[in-house]
Every structure is written in structure tokens, then in C-alpha cells.
């Protein structure tokens, strides 16, 4: 297959058994969320749909915490970096041929309630070997039914957000972390920036930075793994207007907010363990 191209599909925020409280908090932050969906694998979610990508709040309902237990071993917060693909099987074959540990592709679906009746949103994913990604997952997602995800009525948010534009991974050794992505997308896909490296992924950029450098961009990021391992810690979202964001966090009584001339910063404890930045 041609060189695998990096384009952010979505990000996953692990909320464990706190779907009710974290989804309510994201609504206070100004996001419009889809109704709760239930995967055939046993997990449940809410989505905030944007232009090219989306944000997923993933967790489990009471009594279902033993299903997909491999997910819930990760810390609460940002745990999923997901790239687009039109052919998850081909991605699997290509990565396996290169000797990159990769799990077998998996297919699943979830019912979507629509005015004309429910339909099933269906997916096939190829996930990198779990040992490659501490405290989270990286995978490629093939949407069989993108029209059941990117719907215009779900893209309208009170905070004006139109896309995720930055994804932050904190690493003690950013070059070592970035090397994995170079092996997947090519050596020229990752470039140097102060404090680390960056991968351009469609409208988004994935940063591999030291915690100190990330704190120059965000506020109140989650701590590294207990053993000093890498951690996905923050997102930057593009909005049509920072004034809309300020209105939402004000009416939502969000605490710890920093309003700077070019961005609004939300600490991780106010966003389900994820430090957020809003920019125009």
C-alpha cells in the first residue's frame, strides 16, 4: 500500500464509570454531545463531533466494568490517539510486514438514534501493540458509516469549537516516543520543535514534548505515569470565537480557568483529566 498518511480521526478520553458526571461537565464547557451510544463490545460513549475529527468520552455503565477490562486499566483522562484509514486491513498488513507490533483488526458497531429510526454505525480498527503505548492506545479507525458520525446537527457547539488542532503527549524522552510514529508514517513526518517533536496529522498536530514544555502551552496537565512513562495529557481546540468559550465557562462555573489574549486554558481536573486549550 502507499505510505500510511497521518490524519487525526478522533481522541479518546477515558472516563471509566463517570459517564454521567464527565459528560455533564463537558456540556458545561460548551460542547454539544451525542446521545449515549453503546458498543457491541460493551463500552459506552458520548461524542463531540467537529469538522474533520471528534472527541470521544468513553466509559462503562453500572455493572459493565468487567467488559473491555483492558481499557479500564488505563488512567482516567486522555488515553486514545486515533488516526483515519480507509483500509484497516491494509494498515495491519503493512505494519506487520515492517515488524511493528500490531493487533488483529477488530470490527464493532453501535446503534445510532435518528429521526427515521435507529441505524448501526460500524467500524474496523487496527491497534498498535499495547506494549508500544504506555497509559493508552494508538489505533487506526475505518468508518464504514461516516455519515452516522459526522452529521451537521452534531457539529454545532455553544463554545464554537470546529476541530481539535493539537494533541499533547508528555515524554521524558520525546525523541524516543516520536520514533514510533516515524516508523509508521516515515522519517520526514516528524519535525523538531522546542522541547521535542511534532507530527502533522491533517488539521491537527501531535506534539511529543517534555512536561515542562507542555506547561508552556497548557495549564494543570495530568502527571506522568507513576514509573515516568509517557502520558497523553492535553488538547487544543480551535473555536470560532474565544468570547463564546468565555461565556460557556462562565455560565458553567468552571474554576481554574486562565484567560490569555490568544487562548483560554482549562486545567485537567475540570475536564475529565485532560488539560484543554481553546484558540481561534
pLDDT tens per residue, range 154-177: 999 999 999 999 999 999 999 999
Domain ranges of the chain: 8-152, 161-279
| Architecture of domain 161-279 in this structure | Roll (3.10)
> pLDDT digits over 51-99, tens only?
999 999 999 988 776 667 777 888 999 999 999 999 999 999 999 999 9
pLDDT band for position 101 (cuts 50, 70, 90) = very high
Bridge partners (DSSP) listed for residue 192: 197
List the CATH code of the domain at 8-152: 3.10.180.10
Residue 252 is predicted with a pLDDT of 97
Instruction: Give the pTM.
Output: 0.95
pLDDT band for position 145 (cuts 50, 70, 90) = very high
d(CA 248, CA 232): 25
Residue 177's CB: how many other CB atoms inside 10 A? Answer: 22
Give CA separation, 86 vs 52, 89, 101, 140, 141, in Å: 14, 9, 20, 9, 8
Same fold, 8-152 and 161-279: yes
What is the C-alpha end-to-end distance of the chain, expressed in Å?
37
Mean pLDDT of 15-33: 97
> pLDDT digits over 197-215, tens only?
999 999 999 999 999 999 9
Q: Answer yes or no: are the C-beta atoms of 248 and 28 closer than 8 Å.
A: yes
Residue 231 is predicted with a pLDDT of 96
Residue 41 is predicted with a pLDDT of 75
pLDDT band for position 223 (cuts 50, 70, 90) = confident
Residue 117 is predicted with a pLDDT of 84
d(CA 239, CA 12): 20
Give CA separation, 174 vs 91, 170, 181, 207, 220, in Å: 25, 8, 11, 9, 20
Mean pLDDT of the chain: 94
Where is average pLDDT lowest: 38-52, 90-104, 179-193? 38-52
> pLDDT digits over 1-18, tens only?
557 999 999 999 999 999
Amino acid at each position: 500500500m502507499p505510505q500510511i498518511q497521518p490524519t487525526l480521526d478522533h481522541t479518546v478520553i477515558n472516563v471509566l464509570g463517570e459517564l454521567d458526571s464527565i459528560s455533564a461537565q463537558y456540556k458545561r464547557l460548551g460542547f454539544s454531545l451525542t446521545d449515549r451510544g453503546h458498543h457491541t463490545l460493551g463500552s459506552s460513549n458520548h461524542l463531540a463531533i467537529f469538522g474533520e475529527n471528534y472527541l470521544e468520552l468513553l466509559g462503562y455503565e453500572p455493572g459493565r466494568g468487567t467488559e473491555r477490562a483492558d481499557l479500564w486499566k488505563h488512567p482516567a483522562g486522555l488515553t486514545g490517539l486515533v488516526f483515519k484509514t480507509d483500509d484497516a486491513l491494509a494498515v495491519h498488513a503493512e505494519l506487520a510486514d515492517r515488524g511493528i507490533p500490531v493487533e488483529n483488526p477488530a470490527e464493532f458497531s453501535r446503534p445510532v438514534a435518528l429521526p427515521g429510526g435507529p441505524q448501526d454505525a460500524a467500524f474496523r480498527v487496527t491497534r498498535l501493540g499495547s506494549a508500544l503505548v504506555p497509559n493508552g492506545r494508538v489505533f487506526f479507525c475505518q468508518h464504514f458509516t461516516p455519515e452516522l458520525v459526522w452529521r451537521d446537527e452534531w457539529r454545532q457547539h455553544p463554545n464554537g469549537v470546529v476541530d481539535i488542532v493539537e494533541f499533547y503527549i508528555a515524554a521524558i524522552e520525546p525523541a524516543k516516543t516520536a520514533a514510533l510514529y516515524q516508523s509508521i508514517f516515515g522519517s520526514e513526518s516528524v519535525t523538531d520543535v522546542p522541547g521535542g517533536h511534532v507530527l502533522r496529522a491533517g488539521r491537527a498536530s501531535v506534539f511529543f514534548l517534555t512536561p515542562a514544555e507542555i506547561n508552556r502551552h497548557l495549564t494543570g496537565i495530568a502527571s506522568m505515569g507513576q514509573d515516568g512513562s509517557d502520558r497523553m495529557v492535553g488538547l487544543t481546540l480551535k473555536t470560532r470565537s474565544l468570547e463564546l468559550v468565555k461565556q460557556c465557562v462562565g455560565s458553567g462555573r468552571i474554576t481554574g480557568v486562565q484567560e490569555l489574549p490568544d487562548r483560554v486554558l482549562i486545567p485537567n481536573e475540570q475536564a475529565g483529566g485532560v488539560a484543554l486549550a481553546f484558540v481561534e
